[in-house]
Amino acid sequence: MPELPEVETIRRQLAPHVEGRRLQTVEIRDVRWPQGTTPELLSAQLTGARVERLGRLGKYLIWELDGDRHLLVHLRMTGALLLDADPEPPHTRARIALDDGHVLTYVDPRRFGTAQLLDSGRERDSYLAARLGAEPFTEQFTAAYLRAQARGRRAPLKSFILDQRRIAGVGNIYADEALHRAGLHPLRPAGSLTLAQWTTLKQTIEDALADGIDAKGASIDDFRHVDGARGSFQDRFLVHTRAGAPCPSCGATIRKLVVGGRGTYVCERCQPRPRRARETSALVASRARPAGGSGR
């Protein structure tokens, strides 16, 4: 799924081509893409609109249109925006012709992406505030904020980081990378961290995201730039997708776990398991041994 660095990469690449331009024709081919309306109605509302600015918050691309209208596009798992793709890619769900002759294509094999048109800045702000917490790199994103959000919560730390209502824009890749840099295990209860640990984790989250932006995103499966090129952050992964490989920090073997239903990569030497998780793991292992045997 495109995360903050991938969506920011798309925004930076696309903004010079769409800002100040009019959407000359809008063809929406997938009934699931528009939210709360029909493809025909959304197409009519967008046709002729002028793009004032292309913004982003969390994983949302925000098209600021004339008339104080705001189109929020979420790419979800497999969505991509391609400029002047030729030939037209399979799984094209929408096609937007700009008034300068360029054509923007929305491609989404799994059809989870969404587009929502809101009629005012107030509606936009209300919509996003109900779904997103503080975004990294902003004044609101502090260690104190994170500690307050996590207070009393026993959910795994990784699940807390992935909760968009707490932290906007961080997904599976950057959570793994940030936790490794901070030396924190993804199964640790979120409410158990000290302020000093939150200070470290806040910084490693921003460091991992900044590195992802510098590498123009990570292309493991579907993510592509607007010209179809791949990002390169996958070449810099410390732990993510590297199960069985040596940890670059200590040489121990990286393991793959499942945390909150998500594949999770960790070096358990650099990121020690919390005691309760170690005890549970030992109990599961003991129960798996043959009765009456030593387990050797």
Residue 267 is which amino acid? C
Q: For 86-89, which contacts have Cβ atoms below 8 Å and span 24 or more sequence positions?
A: none
User: How many angstroms separate the CA atoms of 270 and 181, rounded?
Assistant: 9
- Residues marked active site are found at 2-3, 59, 262
User: How many angstroms separate the CA atoms of 246 and 239, rounded?
Assistant: 9
User: How many angstroms separate the CA atoms of 204 and 180, rounded?
Assistant: 9
User: How many angstroms separate the CA atoms of 68 and 212, rounded?
Assistant: 32
Q: Give the gyration radius of the chain's Cα atoms.
A: 22
Which DSSP string do the residues of 222-291 spell out, in sequence order? S---TTSPPP-GGGG-SSTT-TTSBPTTT-PBPEEEEETTEEEEE-TTTSPPPHHHHHHHHHHHHHHSPT
User: How many angstroms separate the CA atoms of 73 and 94, rounded?
Assistant: 12
User: How many angstroms separate the CA atoms of 10 and 74, rounded?
Assistant: 12
